[in-house]
Structure 1
C-alpha cells in the first residue's frame, strides 16, 4: 500500500485545482473536475457508487459553479440501522502566491528528504487520497469481514473560498435522498506539529465586521477646524474589548473579540486630523451563541455605558458622536461561518484507540483553529458524530528533525507547502483502524 499512497498523493497534488473563483474561472473549474475524475476512477474500481454534481448560484456575490463528487460503498449486509461513516474532503487549493519564492514547483509534486512538496500537500489532498486508499486496503485485507457498514465520500471543489456550492449542497442532496450518516470524518489538518497530538471535535464560528467613526478633517493646531474620530473610536473599542463570554467547555474555547486592523488617516502628514477612523474586528464564537445574537451584544455594549467609564475624558466626545449617528457598527452576517461542537462519542473514541495503537500516544480532543466544512454537518444531521483528523498543519517533522524554515514555510497555505511521508503512512493506518473499530458493535 505504501507506494500507492505516495503515488496517489503526488498525482493529485500535481493537478492545479485552485478554487474555481476569480480570474481564469473556467480553467480552474476544469482542473477541479480533473482532480475529481482521478478520484472517481479509483472509487469506481473499488465498486463504489459515484455521483457527480455541479451546483451554482445561491449567493449574490459568489454564484460561481462548483464541481462535487459523492460516493458510497456498502460493506457486508448493510441495513439502515448499521453505522454509516462519511469522509469529507476537498480538492481545491488556495493560490500559490509568488512562485519565485517556491523552491519546488507547486503543481508538480516533488519528493525530497522524506517530504512531498506542492500546493495542497497539507491542506488537504494528501488526506483525501490517504483515506480512500485506507478503505481500499481494508477491503483488500478483509479486516471488515463480518461487519455491516456503509462508507460515504463527499469531495468538493470549493472549501477554500465561499463554500456556498460545495459540501453544504452535497449534504442537502444526501438529506433529500434519505441518506442518514451516523458519523463524519473531516480530513482537515488537525494538529500543529505532530500527527499524534490532537483530534478535532469542534471549531468556533467566525464573525467579521467593522466600526467606523466619521468626524471632520482639519488642521491639528486649530480645534475649531476638526472633529477627531480617533478618540470616540478608541472609547468604543474599549467598550467592545471589555465584553467577556463564558460559553466554552474543556474542548472548546470561549467566544472572544479581537481588533484585526485599524485605519485612521492616510495623508502621511502629522498636522492633519482625518475625517474618518475605522476598525476591523473579528469574533470567534461557540455553538452556544449565534452571529445575530452577537450583533445584539455588540450594539448593547456601545449603548449601555458602564458608570465607571462615564468619568473617562473621552466619554462626552463619544456620547456626542453616538447621538449624532457618527458611529456605525457593521456585522457581516451574510459571510459569518457557523461553529460546531460534537461531544466526543463512538467515532472520536474509535479514532483515539486507533491512534494509541498506531502511534503509542494518547491524543487530546481539541477545538482550536479556523472554520472548516464540518460546520455544515449538524444543520442536516444534528445527532451525527464529527471528528477532524488529518496531517499536521505545519507540514510535519521527520525523526524529530525540525526543518530550518519550519513555521515560516512548508505548512498549510504557506510557500513550499509539504507533508511528511511518514505521516501519510501513519495516517493511513489510523484511518483503517478507526474504521475497523467504529464498525464493531458498541
Structure 2
C-alpha cells in the first residue's frame, strides 16, 4: 500500500489529548488511533476485558502484516486525572501549543509517543517498506495502564498467545527521558511488592494495662527490624532495593484507650537479587520472630505488582540507542530506574525496551513536552523500524 503523504505526529498527538480518557474511560482515544491506522492497512481489533471488582476496559490491537519478524509497539491511551483543575494554566484536554510546547494531560505520558509511532509507521507504509510475508508491525494499546492493570496488556498478551501470535520484539513508549529527549532508555524495571500488616491485641483502659494487650509495641518492633535491614547494594544494572513504610495507623482518637489492632502498609522496590516470594518469606519470618518473643498475633497479605526483569543489552537495545544518538546526538543511559510499567507483562513474551519523551511533567498540572520533540521522536521510531526490518536485530 502506498500513500501520498505521511502523517504529522503533532496533529495526531493533539487529537489524542482532546480525548479525555481518564482511566478507565476511553472517550474516543482508541477510535482515533484506529482512524489513522486503518488507512495504512492495519487490521484493528478492539479487545474488551472484564474482571470481578475491576472496571471493564477497552483495548486496541492493530497489526499490519502476518509474517516475521514481528515488531510491536506498546502503550496506553488512559491518563491520570487532572487533579486540581485550577492549577492548570490551560485546558488539560485542549491539546494547546503554547511557546513551542504541547500542553495537555497525556502529552508526555504517553499520547505523544503513540502519535510518533503511528507517524513513523506511515512513512514506511508510504514507501511500501512493510510487505505481508516479510515482517509485520503492531500496536498493543491498553486503556488500563494507569488503573489496576488487570483488564489491559496482561490479558491482551494472553489472548494473542492463545491464538498463536508471537511478538519478536517490543518497544514501549513510556516517557523514559529525564532532562531531555534522548538521555535515557529503560532495559528493565525493578519489581514491586506491597504489604498490609495487622497486629492483633486486646482493647482496654490505659489505667488497667494488665487487662489489655497493646499491639503497638509489637508493630513498631516488626517495622524497626524490617527497616534496619540493608537488602542489597545494587548491581551493574539495578540500584539497591529499598523497603519503605508507607502508613502506620491504629485509628484511635481516644487518649485513654489501648487499641485492639495496629496496622501498617509497606512497599519494597526490588532488583533481580530478590523475588516477590523471597521478600514475603523474609517479612513473615521477621513477624514470626517478634511474635515468638513478644506474644500476640498478626495477619499479613501482599500484592506483587511485578517482578524485576532486565532485557540484557544486545542488538535490540543497540538498535534503539543508535537511532536515539543519530537524531538527538545523545547517548542514552541504559536504565532500570523508576516505577513499574506494562513492560513487566510483556517481558514474559518478548524482549522489551522502553523509550519515549521526557518525563519531567508527567502526572503534573500543566503536563507538557516540547512540541518539536514529537517530531524528533517520530524520526527516532522511523529509524528503529527501518533498521529492524533491514535485519539489524538477529534475535
Normalised by the length of structure 1, the TM-score is 0.80
- 1:122 is paired with a residue of what secondary structure? helix
Aligned mates of 1:137, 1:249 — CA distance in 2: 40
Give the C-alpha shift of residue 288 in structure 1.
5.1
- 1:253 is paired with a residue of what secondary structure? coil
Partner of 2:333: 364
Give the C-alpha shift of residue 368 in structure 1.
0.9
Aligned mates of 2:234, 2:314 — CA distance in 1: 18
Aligned mates of 1:210, 1:56 — CA distance in 2: 26
- 1:65 is paired with a residue of what secondary structure? strand
Q: Which runs of 5+ in 1 are unaligned?
A: 21-27, 306-317, 395-410
Q: Which runs of 5+ in 2 are unaligned?
A: none
- 2:347 is paired with a residue of what secondary structure? helix
Aligned mates of 2:289, 2:263 — CA distance in 1: 21
Aligned mates of 2:293, 2:318 — CA distance in 1: 57
Aligned mates of 2:338, 2:157 — CA distance in 1: 23
Partner of 1:71: 62
How large is the Cα RMSD of the aligned pairs? 2.6
Aligned mates of 1:377, 1:348 — CA distance in 2: 16
Aligned mates of 2:182, 2:208 — CA distance in 1: 63
Deviates more, 1:239-248 or 1:195-204: 239-248
Residues 181 and 358 in structure 2, CA contact (< 8 A), matched pair in contact too: yes
Equivalent residue runs for 1:139-288 within 5 Å: 139-140=125-126, 148-217=134-203, 223-224=209-210, 227-246=213-232, 249-267=235-253, 269=255, 273-287=258-272
- 1:108 is paired with a residue of what secondary structure? coil
Aligned mates of 1:303, 1:254 — CA distance in 2: 26
In the alignment, does 2:8 pair up with 1:8? no
Normalised by the length of structure 2, the TM-score is 0.89
- 1:332 is paired with a residue of what secondary structure? strand
* Paired residue total: 387
- 2:108 is paired with a residue of what secondary structure? coil
In the alignment, does 2:78 pair up with 1:87? no
Deviates more, 1:134-143 or 1:423-432: 134-143
Aligned mates of 1:347, 1:148 — CA distance in 2: 19
Structure 1 residue corresponding to 2:382, chosen from 415, 427, 432: 432
Residues 339 and 371 in structure 1, CA contact (< 8 A), matched pair in contact too: no
Closer/same/farther in 2, CA of residues 216 and 177 from structure 1, 3 Å limit: closer
Give the C-alpha shift of residue 439 in structure 1.
2.3
Residues 264 and 276 in structure 1, CA contact (< 8 A), matched pair in contact too: yes
Partner of 1:401: none
